Structure 1
Amino acid sequence: MASALIIGGTRGLGAALVKQYAAQSTSVFATTRSDTAPSGFPNGIKWLSNVDLTKSNVGENLTGQLKGAKPLDVVIINAGRFTTEDFSAEKGPNWEEEVTMYTTSSIAPVFVVHSLTHAGLLKSGSKVVFVSSEAGSITLRHDKEGGGNYAHHASKAALNMAGKLLSIDLKEKGVIVSIIHPGFMRTEMTKGVGFDKHWDEGGAVTPEVAAKSLVDWTEKLDIGKTGEYWAPRGPRDIGMAETVLGKNLETPLKLPW
């Protein structure tokens, strides 16, 4: 039986991924920051508790709870945080929130993959997927969108670089690393930062739809795409895609760094 580890599996895209992999009779491990398993999920999910990506021991915590498990076929690092920031005197950037966003999005994933690798939990053919965002593309940032949201966007750019570097380190082992923009989603995260007003015109989809695209993408991944940055759902929800990259863009779309 194939196995998948979903890091950040209790809500939004992560929850949808857990349910879709479980429906495929995959052996699913999923993480929660809580000390108890969440409700509303299929039976048989192996929940790894108290997994907090802001803690320096997150890698050791994960591998300790996976002790005795066979190497994983798929690892999807989905956990993230988005707090809006602007350049005003009244609000401006927030130090604590920036540290949390960078740690969660771009520091912890390196330690997670390092620990999984050295615990023997990744093998040749294992697929590691980093859930990034088109927001992490420097090329796609445009005057029309304005500035602000420094840590969210920059932490995703940092995740892209971390994923690229890890793909180089892991290539000899045959481990595939994919960095993806999963799509603009109708989640509590986007609603919480006020992006729900853009859901309709921006073509936002449910987490279940985005998860299906991501699962399909991961299934077809091979070593030829390792270290690359893609939008499996194409340009349809990327506001500046045609402005910056031109028209008649393909799906899936390889994103510029």
Structure 2
Amino acid sequence: MKSVLVTGANRGLGLGMVKFLLKNNTENVFATCRNVSEELKSTAEKYKNLHILNLDVKHNQQIDAVATKIAEVVKDNGLNVLINNAGVTTRFTKLNLVKADQLLENLTVNTIAPILLTKALYPLLKQAASINNDKAMGVQKAAVINMSSILGSIAQNDQGGFYPYRCSKAALNAATKSMSIDLRKDEILVASMHPGWVKTDMGGKNAPIDIDTSVCGIFETITNFTEKDTGKFFQYDGSELPW
């Protein structure tokens, strides 16, 4: 993976993925966020190949500017991997409490933004796949990894509730499937990934796994992806999940 974009990279899982990529000598790492955290800023001071880009995924008009800035850096090499990580959640929302603005915010950030960002970066992903035509389909060539959640699995929903988050992640999974079909001709792999229940601001302090465990598992899993894995839904440890 010569070039990777991680959205929502100012803290938590996104920042953990950025640090992992930098430590593993990724040539260009692009990190998007609304506000730059001190930790992300200090990381950028250590690694000149880390490019921080301002992006509030709620504002669609910013997406094309991000794509243009990435193109200026990668040039003809294109972008190898897009990790749609930025997300929001509305916790413990039962039917009698759910509100329209919660549903709209979750769908905007968790579903619509990844679709539009993939659309904007498609030419760069296609370029990377073309440049690496001697490689097998996978992240070494070109890939889109959509960070989903097991709560987006319809088959495994046995608790109900969580309407905004469940619906937005189920919709993201549907988008993953469609992207995998539409981009197969360009040999761009697309998969959904559940990072596990992780100790982050979103996951909470009671989560059973830490960021490093999740991140290491995610990259071990996606590095081993082949053509047979496109259009599927995986957990960070490599196990396949039902839609």
TM range (shorter): 0.7 to 0.9
How far did residue 120 of structure 1 move?
5.8
How far did residue 208 of structure 1 move?
1.5
Q: For residues 214 and 139 of structure 1, what CA distance do their matches in structure 2 show?
A: 22
3-state DSSP class of the match of 1:82?
coil
Residue aligning to 2:13:
13
* Aligned residue type for 1:31: T
Q: For residues 18 and 120 of structure 1, what CA distance do their matches in structure 2 show?
A: 19
- Compute the RMSD of aligned alpha carbons: 1.9
* Aligned residue type for 1:87: L
For residues 107-161 of structure 1, the C-alpha deviation after alignment (integer angstroms, 9 at most, x for no partner) is 111111111113566532202111001111001011xx2x221010110000000
Alignment of 1:64-79 (within 5 A): 64-68=68-72, 69=74, 70-79=77-86
How far did residue 170 of structure 1 move?
0.4
Work out whether residues 167 and 177 of structure 1, in 8 Å CA contact, stay in contact via their aligned partners in 2: yes
Residue aligning to 2:135:
none
Identity %: 28
Counterpart pick for 1:217 among 215, 218, 221: 221
Alignment of 1:1-257 (within 5 A): 2-26=2-26, 27-34=28-35, 38-41=40-43, 42-44=46-48, 45-49=50-54, 51-68=55-72, 69=74, 70-84=77-91, 85-88=93-96, 92-119=97-124, 122-124=127-129, 125-142=141-158, 145=159, 147-191=160-204, 196-197=205-206, 199=207, 204-233=208-237, 252-257=238-243
Q: For residues 35 and 65 of structure 2, what CA distance do their matches in structure 1 show?
A: 13
Q: For residues 39 and 121 of structure 1, what CA distance do their matches in structure 2 show?
A: 30
3-state DSSP class of the match of 1:75?
strand
Q: For residues 9 and 35 of structure 1, what CA distance do their matches in structure 2 show?
A: 9
* Aligned residue type for 2:101: E
Q: For residues 65 and 102 of structure 2, what CA distance do their matches in structure 1 show?
A: 23
How far did residue 96 of structure 1 move?
1.7
Computing the radius of gyration from Cα coordinates, the structure with the larger value is: 1
* Aligned residue type for 1:180: M
How far did residue 212 of structure 1 move?
0.7
Q: Say how many residue pairs are matched.
A: 223
Q: For residues 127 and 31 of structure 2, what CA distance do their matches in structure 1 show?
A: 16
Work out whether residues 126 and 174 of structure 1, in 8 Å CA contact, stay in contact via their aligned partners in 2: yes
* Aligned residue type for 2:239: L
Higher helix share: 2
- Stretches of structure 2 that go unaligned for 5 or more consecutive residues are 130-140
Work out whether residues 4 and 75 of structure 1, in 8 Å CA contact, stay in contact via their aligned partners in 2: yes
* Aligned residue type for 1:176: L
